[in-house]
Amino acid sequence: MLKKTVALSAFLLGSFALGACGQSSAKCPTKDQIKTSVKEFIPQDFSVESISPLKDIKGLCEVVIKVGAQPLIFYVDGAGKYLVAGNLISLQDKKNITRDRQQEFMKVSADQLKELEKHVNIRLGEGSKFVYFITDPDCPFCKRSNPVVEEWAKKTGVQVRVIFFPLPIHPEAFNKSVAVICDKKGFKEYAEGYTSKNQCEEGKKAVEANLQLMNKLGIGGTPTFIGMNGRMHSGVPTEEDLNKLVN
């Protein structure tokens, strides 16, 4: 996750007064009240997607905000004086309520899909259905994903549109990404860790633009998959995970 998002998550782990005066404990703060209260703590633009009372916990409200395409969930009391962050777990059925709700909001807009299309670096397959595969050539989880993705694409006929997102923790990943673009290589060479001394300006600009887009979308890790339906999946996928992105 990007530094800004990490900082935001760390901030949310604390509690602070939202300053929403006159709220009844039976109600939740409004979207405007939430946005006004937290905006000085969040350096990026964000939207308040949802505020709703928790059914099983009286007096506690769930708040969902999105930084780009990244949903973040926290909880406030009905009077808007306190904030609680972290995973809410149901002990009865062992479900992670917070994580499940995040998955519901893990979706990009139609405009964001159009923006992603401008950043595609290589393609695997020629199907009419497609997914975006945001990857780092040196990410170990991306390497584990490559054969899964390739086999699934062949099986289903779905096109995989690859966008390079080299992370700072992998010092050679940026140059490898640029080399694949400059030498006009494909998925096979990318998966094999292709590299060369060809660091053309066109390739550098393309990868730098990718980094800016991921920051804008709030995406900070690889692999990340985004489907033609806007749904997102982070981490090594199963075939079922990938199917959900095109159905």
- The two tokens of residue 176 are 């490898």
Please provide residue 218's backbone torsions phi and psi, each rounded to the nearest 5 degrees.
80, 20
What pLDDT band is residue 52 in, cutting at 50, 70 and 90?
Answer: very high
In this prediction, residue 17 has a pLDDT band, given cuts at 50, 70 and 90, of: very low
Segment 115-130 shows an average pLDDT of: 96
Q: 212: domain CATH number?
A: 3.40.30.10
Structure confidence by residue, pLDDT tens digits, 76-97:
998 888 889 899 999 999 999 9
Mean pLDDT of all residues in the chain?
88
One domain for residues 211 and 239: yes
DSSP state string for 56-69? SSTTEEEEEEEETT
Q: What is the mean pLDDT of residues 147-154?
A: 97
Q: Which two tokens stand for residue 216?
A: 């804008």
* Amino acid 42: pLDDT: 78
Decide: 61 and 24 in contact? Cβ < 8 Å. no
- Counted domains in the chain: 2
pTM comes to 0.75
Give the model's pLDDT for residue 3: 43
* Strand, coil or helix: 64: strand
Q: What is the CA radius of gyration of the chain?
A: 20
Pair (85, 132) in one structural domain: no
Residue 75 belongs to what domain range?
A: 3-105
Helix pair 201-217, 110-117: axis angle to 10 deg: 160
Q: Which residue has the higher pLDDT, 72 or 189?
A: 189
| Whether residue 92 sits in one domain with residue 131 | no
| Distance between CA atoms of residues 246 and 129, nearest Å | 7
| pLDDT value of position 96 | 93
Question: Among 69, 87, 105, which residue terminates a domain?
Answer: 105
Q: Tokens representing 153?
A: 């694409």
